[in-house]
Chain A
Amino acid sequence: MTVLPYLVVVWILAVGLYGMVTSRHLIHLIMCLIVVQSSTYVLLLAVGYRNGAVAPYFSDIGVHTPAVDPVVQALALTDVVVEAAVTGLLLAFAVQAQKRFGTLDPHELVQIKG
């Protein structure tokens, strides 16, 4: 089934978003955001895949061996780095929210904010 990777993408996106929408804890919400972002890795790598092709590393294979698209792989790498940066920053916000308001429940935080 050749569309399976694309269906996996939308499934990961949907369960991640569902977790974010129904989340009752900021740390859980941040983890769900990571799940949402993971769907983009699958999408990027799926878009660049070629049947029967190898990884784009030509250390021990000929230069003309069919290889998958290296551009989307580089983009996936960028994606991972940005995710790590964003996650670190969001976790820092969660720590401060706990310290200032004494709760990590998004619903309660909204009520405190007014």
Chain B
Amino acid sequence: MSPAARRWVFLAAIAGLAAFYLWGLAGLPGFGHYPGPYGLIINKIAVAQTNATGVVSAVNFEYRGFDTVGEEFILFMAATGMSVVLRHLRGERERPGLERGIGADEPPTSDAVKQAALVFVGPVLLMGWWLASHAQTSPSGGFQGGVVLATAFILIYLSGGLLTFRRISPVTLTDAVEAVGAAGFAAVGLAAVLMGLPFLYNYLPLGIKPGAVSSSGTIALISFFVGVEVAAAFVLMVGEMLEQTLLVRGEAAT
């Protein structure tokens, strides 16, 4: 199909979609007129039931914790899938001279970038750790914290290059950390089953005061494991992509 014909087919299709959408919109309550009831009920009972003042985290790691297990394994499988897709093709090998410094033919990173990246590594690690460990009290949690923690590793790459990135996050170790994060979440859920309770039942003491870091039982624990898993998964995914810059095809290499 020619690009012009393709465009016309698309415009006709999107006009039809928009018509159906607007038709459906007519039956929706207007923006801001939330009909409930689920959000209203959860907001009313979540703090009393879980001692977590961050209700979004309570929903994610408690009320629909079963979904979040699946969500976490989507990320796990995506990281695994990336390693499979990016495996070395036939005739591909690493560029020679890796130890002498990577990308000697590319312009070097400026000192300003290296310094700025290095300065931010500590604060970003702290922030990621804080986010991953405060799911129960504030707008944070394992997913957000994990991504910020992985950003610290990317900053280390910016500052020190790929060789340093590899040294602080060896693939085998990162794989193991990711597995611990993913399995930890499942183990917290399965422990409840072993105690004769439903899967992912919140069996830990909830703490006395809602909003304390030590409150909310398994929510905080699951969030921690999710943070570990997400951080490792993103470090692996970024690492896989960076490794690609080192590869050359057999016939191209001299």
Binding site for B on A (CB under 8 A): 2-6, 10, 13-14, 17-18, 21-22, 46-51, 53, 55-59, 63-64, 67-74, 77-78, 80-82, 84-86, 88-89, 91-93, 95-96, 99-100
Contacts and interface: CB of A to CB of B under 8 A. Distances in A.
B53 interface: yes
A14 B207 CA distance: 48
Contacts of A6: 25, 28, 31
Contacts, number: 155
Interface in B34-82: 34, 36, 38-40, 42-44, 46-48, 53-56, 58-60, 64, 67-68, 71, 74-75, 77-79, 81-82
A63 B159 CA distance: 45
A58 B211 contact: yes
13 contacts: A3-B30, A49-B31, A51-B33, A56-B39, A57-B54, A63-B43, A71-B38, A80-B143, A81-B143, A85-B75, A85-B77, A88-B78, A92-B85
Contacts of A93: 85
A10 B43 contact: no
Given A6-B31, A95-B244, A70 B55 contact: yes
Contacts of B116: none
Contact of A58 (B77, B82, B210, B241): B210
Interface of B: 3, 6-7, 10, 14, 17-18, 21-22, 25, 28, 30-34, 36, 38-40, 42-44, 46-48, 53-56, 58-60, 64, 67-68, 71, 74-75, 77-79, 81-82, 85-86, 89, 92, 137-139, 141, 143, 147, 210-211, 230, 234, 237, 240-241, 244, 249
Contacts of A55: 139
B28 A56 contact: no
A101 to B, nearest CB: 12
B141 to A, nearest CB: 8
A3 B137 contact: no
Contact of A72 (B21, B39, B43, B86): B39
Nearest to B141: A77
Is chain B's interface secondary structure helix, strand, loop, or mixed overall? helix
Nearest to B10: A21
A93 B85 CA distance: 7
B24 to A, nearest CB: 9
B74 A81 contact: yes
Contacts of B25: 3, 6
Nearest to A93: B85
Contacts of A92: 81-82, 85-86, 240-241
Given A6-B28, A6-B31, A56-B56, A71 B210 contact: no
B34 A48 contact: yes
Given A2-B32, A81-B143, A85-B74, A58 B86 contact: no
Contacts of B14: 14, 17-18
A20 to B, nearest CB: 9
